[in-house]
Structure 1
Amino acid sequence: MEKKQQFKSVRAFIGTKNQFRNFYRDFGFYEVVLSEDMSLFKVENHLGFYLQKAFVKDWVDNSMLF
């Protein structure tokens, strides 16, 4: 029998030209500043995403959170 993996979290990286930190805080996300160019936004320990100041048009245009 195969052992099932127990996950702690799944987090996406979202790129942006400008970090719209206030936008995500207004939605109720808690911000953890990791560096000048990257923050972790979370609602719970296992639910969150990274917002980073890294703009690659094809990547950003094809990224979304649902």
Structure 2
Amino acid sequence: MIHPAKSIRTFIGAKDYAESIRFYEILGFNVRAVSPNMSLVTVKENIAFYLQDAYLKPWCENSMIFLEIEDDLESYWEAIKVLGLPDKFPGTKLSAIQHSDWGNEFFLHDPAGVLWHFGNFK
């Protein structure tokens, strides 16, 4: 079967909804409310996810999103590092770039514990 799909979006939770909205806005994502307890967070056209005012610790801390970066991962990491997210949002963590045989990536935990993988493939 051929699927007439345009995009795919995941849903993630927020421990503190307002804090998570600020986190993603500082990260440079566009956040637009679609209801009182849910926002559409757009990274780039057709790259988006839903942020919900809902929190279940096991769900959030086991959610992972991989965002493939087109070009220079090092420059992107530097741009995120200077934002100082771990200083502004308790519980957030930013790792160094990890180099693997398949490619490179770094990790960023959001305020609810959602683990972001930012990387590129060789």
- Alignment TM class, shorter chain as reference: 0.7 to 0.9
Output aligned runs, 1:1-66, within 5 Å: 3-19=1-17, 20-66=20-66
- CA-based RMSD: 1.4
Q: Distance in 1 between matches of 2:43 and 2:56?
A: 26
Quick one: which amino acid aligns to residue 60 of structure 1?
A: C
Quick one: which amino acid aligns to residue 39 of structure 1?
A: S
- Higher percent of residues as helix: 2
TM-score by length of 2: 0.48
Structure of higher RCO (CA pairs closer than 8 Å, 6+ residues apart) = 1
Runs of 4+ aligned structure 1 residues displaced above 6 Å come to: none
Identity of aligned residues (%): 42
Equivalenced residue count is 64
Q: Distance in 2 between matches of 1:9 and 1:32?
A: 17
Q: Distance in 2 between matches of 1:61 and 1:44?
A: 25
Q: Distance in 2 between matches of 1:64 and 1:18?
A: 18
Residue by residue over 1:13-44, the C-alpha shift from the partner in whole angstroms, topping out at 9 and shown as x without a partner, is 01112121111111221111112211110023
TM-score by length of 1: 0.81
- Higher percent of residues as strand: 1
User: Structure 1: which 5+ runs fail to align?
Assistant: none
> 1:40, 1:50 within 8 Å by CA — same for their partners in 2?
yes
